[in-house]
Structure 1
Amino acid sequence: MEKSPLGYLPKDSKNLPILLTTKEDERTLATLENTTDYLNGNKKQKNFMLTQAGVKYAYFDKNNNFIVPFGEYDFADVFGLGRKAIVANKGKYGIIDEYGKLVLPLEYDFIEQPSIYSNYASIFLATKQNAVTIFDEKLKVIPIKDIASYRDWDGNIFVTNKENKIGLIDYKGKQTIPFLYDTLYNEHSVPRISGFIAKKDGFYGFVSRKNEIIQPFKYNYIYVLKGGYAVYVGKNNKVGIFDENGKIMIPFEYDAIYSTSYNNHLTKEFPSDMDIFIVEKDGKIGTIDNKNNVIIPIVYDGLSGWVEYGPEAHFVKKNGKYGIISHKGEVVIPIEYDYVGLPQSGVIRVRKDGKYGVMSWKNKTILSCIYDEIVLDISWFNFGEEKQKPKIVGLQRDVWKYFDLNGNLLQSNVPLKEINDQYDYTFKWSDPSNESSDFDLKQKGGITRER
């Protein structure tokens, strides 16, 4: 295939008819009732929505003579594989040759030439009721029987038969994995080992594109972490990770393994969060590196994946109290608070024994926990030329006060009307729980996915 302004055409694209449409893509999108549905739709759904938007199609030759006039088809694609084009009318698909003649009748529910980026398959997939037929560029049937459905994903065509078993065909129409598996899929994020997660007889394994067994079918589940690591859940529900050579990298001694998500690139001695894992063992949580060295001791009751807008750190829970520790396990905010908020400009709102205070993320007390209410008047983002000066707003014994971010008093006895005008909306909010989905991280069975 080679690229042209019309699409990806065969090398023998000389003198092929040109596709003409009545609307440009931008105008078409503007006429659709729901642009989001269009952008998120599959090929068949997009074709239908274009038809509903009133797009018309025709083909003409190099002499500007119409090969196919407007109105004959309500969907048409550019000429490509085998010097042929996919067309549709009233919801039925067929294929025409370069002379405008139907060479595959309009009797299919959908026809496509699978593709990913500039890589186009050398086959057509034609769906009719509950059966899929594979045609080559000459429209000869490629004899793979009993395909009930398929899914084109990341350059792989996963096919399912009538017994609901899944296999794989390549972009040339060759079946490389037979109909064997109850689940078969690949992950973008697993470049370390080329292959597919598969399920057979109730257990998961890992197979190559040629159906070679990379990891045997003896695992309860397999889920994927950032950085291309696949976590295997064993029969005893202990989890571990294999390296690229199939050797155990992280031993099967943990109850769960998760990714970390730090904000910035780390230092040379601590190079990548992709190689640092949160682990759970015997009900406690900590972190390890990709050589199974413990970084944060596995002694905590909860550990977040990251601290948004803050240092490279984790919210942490122990004995019912919260704090923040660094990615190396150093205390940033002591684990003694009932609530710890998100950092803003280096300061953090905390609550202890029902009273609020403010800490810096370097563990310096800005305001002690003696206030009935604290508001951090700090913009998350600054827009426009006027920049608001940040301050801390505190309520103590019915007196409102303003402080700077170092805890210095700016104003006492702030009028209640000013407080209500400026901050009334914040008092309607409750403190977000530290028990967020990111914090708890209890995913015993891995990531639930339906395939």
Structure 2
Amino acid sequence: MKLIPIFSSFLSLTAILTCTSLPRKQNPVYKGCDMNFRLIQSQSDYQTKSFLYTTDPRIKVYQSKYEDLSDVSEEWIRAKQNGKYGFINLDNELVFAYDLVFVGDYSNGYAVYRDGKSFRDPKVYLDKKAKFLGDLVFDEAYTFRNGTALVQIDEKYGIIDTKGKFVLPTQYDYLTNFYEGWAVFKREEHQGLVNTKGIEKKFVHPIYDINTFYYEGHLPFNHYKKVGLMDNNFKILIPPKYDYLGQFKEGLIRFKLNDKWGFLDETGKVIVEPKYDTVYDFSEGYATVQINDKYGKINKRGEYLIEPKLDYVGSFKNGIAIAEENKKKGFITLEAEWLVPPIFESVNEIKEGIFTYKLNELWGFVNLRGCIQK
């Protein structure tokens, strides 16, 4: 890869090194890609800038020049320039002009679009040819997932498909999108689960309340300020005695009790004692935990992979996670080593062989697809 031109009046050209609390991976390879990224620093006209560099010719590095970049979604990246949004492709070419006040990422062929500056302004769905989904206009619209999207009109919720047809009419006071064919609903005095055919499975109880989500056969419910868990037939699995319950991920569910967080199994047995200020779901065998504003990683026995000493660490995906130290971000491995040391001002996860990053208060992206081995 060739570096972008640097003005001849530069004063210095140096590789930026970092000192961190985790070791650096000796052979930093990700799915066949050489992840030996470096920052080259140039100083010119009393201004210092950093440029991302790699010696692997299969990797395409696009230097930071955008006000904002999203993750890749359906082969496009949402970009922001001069306060307006548009889209670029993976060759860094503009494919949708910067004339959108607000737009979401594309999913199932559509992005949520809003012409007004206020988040309360009407929303529509926009395809890649700049055409709207029918003549449908909503007070609120959410991203399509698996062919359906949650929408709101006059404080009532419904669900539409990618053809603009209503799968569920806007008649619900509360509604989630479908998961495994079921959505949580509240309608007048009724609550429970509703399927894609509109058939409702009502939950009748004088004091228990459902206003959350359905996930993998489990449904949290509320009793005053406490939370419990039911199955999809409304059988109580965990009594309502917790301040918060999450979703089962890899066999464990995070819970909050007396301002501390831990993990339960499906029987309600405490597996990891509630001693953390914050915890996140398990992913690839590990969960992020926080103590005193520092983050670490534990396994399902509560043993540390990384003690809480980082400024931030995300979830593992394909064996790597975003981590932050000394106000810079990079990628770590399941071996608690830096795959890419913390050299970025900000960075997003590697998704579909692409990651976006921030340097010099602007955003660029890296395309790893030329070297990723499947």
Into which bin does the TM-score normalised by the smaller protein fall?
0.3 to 0.5
More strand by share: 2
Higher relative contact order (CA 8 A, sep 6+): 2
Q: Which entry has the higher C-alpha Rg, 1 or 2? A: 1
So what's the TM-score if we normalise by structure 1? 0.38
So what's the TM-score if we normalise by structure 2? 0.44
More helix by share: 1
